[in-house]
Amino acid sequence: MKSFTVEEITQITGGMLTKVQDAKIERIAPPLLADENTLALALGEDEIANLAQSKAKAALVPLGVQLDGLTTIEVERPRLAMMKLITMFYTEPYVNDGIHPTATVDPTAKIGQNVKIGPNVVISRDAVIGDNTRIMANTYIGGGAKIGTNCFFHAGVNIGDRVKVGNDVILHHGVSLGADGFSFVTENPDNIEQARKDGSIKEENVKHVIFKIPSIGSVVIGNNVEIGANTTIDRGTIEDTVIGDNTKIDDLVMIGHNCKVGQGCLIVSQVGIAGSCVIGDRVVIAGQAGLADHIEIGSDTIITAKAGVTKSFPAKSIIVGIPAVPRKDFIKQLKTMKDAQEIFAKFRKIEPMLDAFQEEHK
């Protein structure tokens, strides 16, 4: 079992120690779940208040919080310090050394040094796996795929042909990179094309044969990217779909063909990005937001939860609502709705007078 002194934890977190008594720290937990060998994490007001009922001898607290009878480590950024602590206590999933006997590795594949490959993994023809990469059970690496160094693939990952994955990439369970894009065409203009052009649908009961457009592009994932469980990123039709360095993508995200996502972006669960979107650097897209195809989002933009984005926005926008508009316009809309309610309430009061006036002057 891992254990640390409060002095060691103070050094690791870069905090300021006020020591009342020694404590052997074997785990971290909220104050009400902490015992004498636990460092209580009191990052907010409610948790700080709960320290009075805690059995912990020591606590991690925001800068400026000092408590009688309790050893405290004050930190300027509590959440950052918590990350460092969790990293100290975290144990990665086990991956067997070398290549598991049940794995299938094509003779033409190139496997780097100190690579670990788990049960039932398939490495296809001409694939390249970089040094120190670990691949857990039931993962598929397609033909000609190139995987960088120090990557960690959890169980059940699927990597399509010719996909390129950078260094230090983490892919969680069920990630799919490089499936065909959702791209089709009809022989004659269909209802979707009419609606886009004319704003109406004229034809009725017209049968169209729908032809699939194969995807001959691929997917390129930058360095230090993390992609959550069951997220899918489709290959480009002709060009590659690209995810920039240091971008972090949550579970259950869908990114369509031809998309270009910049560096340092945060994309939260259940976001759907349609094909051929261009996303700038450091963009935050909150949960369940949806982006229409062929739009551009400028760098340093924030798209709030459940926003329905149907058009492009410049850099440093804050985007809200369905259909999405700049935050200041959304606030104006809310104010207009509130004003309309008040006007309607006043009208209801004078409506009998208006009815009486009309009746009198018929």
Contacts for 192 with CB less than 8 Å, ≥ 6 apart: none
pLDDT at 82: 92
- Strands 318-320 and 325-326, how do they pair? antiparallel
Cross-strand bridge partners of residue 29? 40
At 176, list the tokens: 């799919």
In terms of Cα–Cα distance, which of 205, 199, 156 is closest to 177? 156
Cross-strand bridge partners of residue 256? none
Q: Long-range contacts of range 116-125, CB-CB < 8 Å, 24 or more positions apart? A: 118/155, 124/161
- Strands 308-309 and 290-291, how do they pair? parallel
pLDDT at 9: 92
Determine how many CB atoms are found less than 10 A away from the CB of residue 174: 18
Identify the residue whose tokens are 């009198």. Answer: 360
DSSP track, 300-342:
T-EE-TT-EE-S-B-TT-EEETTTTEEHHHHHHHHHHHHHHHH
Contacts for 45 with CB less than 8 Å, ≥ 6 apart: none
Q: What are phi and psi for residue 122, nearest 5 degrees? A: -120, 120
Out of 100, 172, 173, 257, pick the active-site residue: 257
Distance CA 350, CA 348 (A): 6
**DSSP for residue 197:** H
Based on the residue annotation, tell me whether 172 is a catalytic residue of this protein.
no
In terms of Cα–Cα distance, which of 218, 197, 64, 12 is closest to 39? 12
- Residue 138 amino acid letter: N
pLDDT at 329: 77
At 104, list the tokens: 């299938």
pLDDT at 230: 98
For helices 78-89 and 6-13, angle between their N-to-C axes, nearest 10 degrees: 120
At 324, list the tokens: 């999405």
Task: From residue 171, give the alpha-carbon distance in Å to each of 37, 167, 226, 230, 248.
Answer: 34, 12, 6, 10, 10
Q: What are the pLDDT digits (tens) for 312-338?
A: 999 999 999 999 888 787 777 767 677
**DSSP for residue 99:** B
Q: What are phi and psi for residue 261, nearest 5 degrees? A: -110, 130
- Strands 176-179 and 232-234, how do they pair? parallel
Q: What is the pLDDT along the chain (362 residues), one digit of tens a residue?
A: 788 999 999 999 999 999 988 888 999 999 999 999 999 999 999 999 999 999 999 999 999 988 888 999 999 999 999 999 999 888 889 999 999 999 999 999 999 999 999 999 999 999 999 999 999 999 999 999 999 999 999 999 999 999 999 999 999 999 999 999 999 888 777 777 777 777 777 776 677 788 899 999 999 999 999 999 999 999 999 999 999 999 999 999 999 999 999 999 999 999 999 999 999 999 999 999 999 999 999 999 999 999 999 999 999 999 999 998 887 877 777 676 776 777 777 778 777 777 777 777 76
Q: What are the pLDDT digits (tens) for 22-80?
A: 888 999 999 999 999 999 999 999 999 999 999 999 999 999 988 888 999 999 999 99
In terms of Cα–Cα distance, which of 58, 55, 61, 60 is closest to 71? 58
pLDDT at 346: 76
pLDDT at 205: 64
pLDDT at 27: 93
Distance CA 285, CA 319 (A): 9
- DSSP helix/strand/coil, 294: coil
Identify the residue whose tokens are 């259940």. Answer: 270
Q: What are phi and psi for residue 229, nearest 5 degrees? A: -60, 140
pLDDT at 355: 73
